[in-house]
């Protein structure tokens, strides 16, 4: 049985992985849906702050610390470096897209890099969440000596 402190930590770690996945989904949604909305309703383009490049930077500044916290905490449980490296590659892609993508890759390249990076981050966090749960379940089912 988990102690009260362990339960709180588990909830925090679960929520950090889930938050990172949700934010990755926001990146994907932003990259795919916003251009469609602007095509359908061009008159509202001036009202949207979401099409600004600063939105990418804000999202990166929110995603990266949450991701690092969740991935390091997860690594301490499951010891799988592949999970960390997949997500780290995704984070580097997001940073590169936010800082340099538009200037060096054009709009389509920036969107592609952001989408691929977001997917890698989400995959890494889902795997991290699953591995932490397996590890906790195994520890709970093992007899104590």
Predicted confidence (pLDDT) per residue in 25-37, tens digit: 887 777 777 667 6
The stretch 103-125 carries a mean pLDDT of 88
Q: Where are the domains of the chain?
A: 12-36+50-141
Output the pTM of the full model. Answer: 0.74
Would you state the pLDDT for residue 38?
66
Whether residue 123 is predicted with pLDDT greater than 50 in this model: the reply is yes
Token pair for residue 65? 């610390």
Q: Which of 119, 92, 102 is nearest to 52 (CA)?
A: 102
**Hey, CA dihedral for 79, 83, 85, 91, is it positive or negative?**
negative
Within its chain, how far is the Cα of 58 from the centroid? Answer: 13
Residue pair 134/33 in contact (Cβ under 8 Å)? The answer is no
């Amino acid at each position: 049985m988990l102690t009260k402190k362990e339960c709180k930590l588990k909830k925090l770690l679960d929520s950090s992985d889930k938050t990172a996945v949700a934010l990755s989904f926001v990146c994907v949604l932003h990259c795919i849906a916003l251009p469609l909305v602007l095509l359908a309703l061009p008159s509202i383009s001036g009202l949207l702050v979401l099409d600004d490049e600063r939105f990418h930077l804000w999202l990166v500044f929110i995603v990266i610390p949450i991701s690092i916290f969740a991935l390091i905490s997860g690594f301490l449980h499951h010891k799988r470096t592949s999970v960390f490296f997949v997500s780290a590659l995704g984070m580097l892609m997001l940073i590169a897209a936010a800082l340099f993508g538009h200037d060096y890759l054009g709009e389509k390249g920036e969107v592609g890099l952001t989408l691929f990076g977001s997917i890698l981050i989400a995959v890494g966090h889902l795997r991290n969440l699953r591995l932490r749960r397996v590890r906790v379940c195994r520890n709970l089912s093992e007899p104590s000596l």
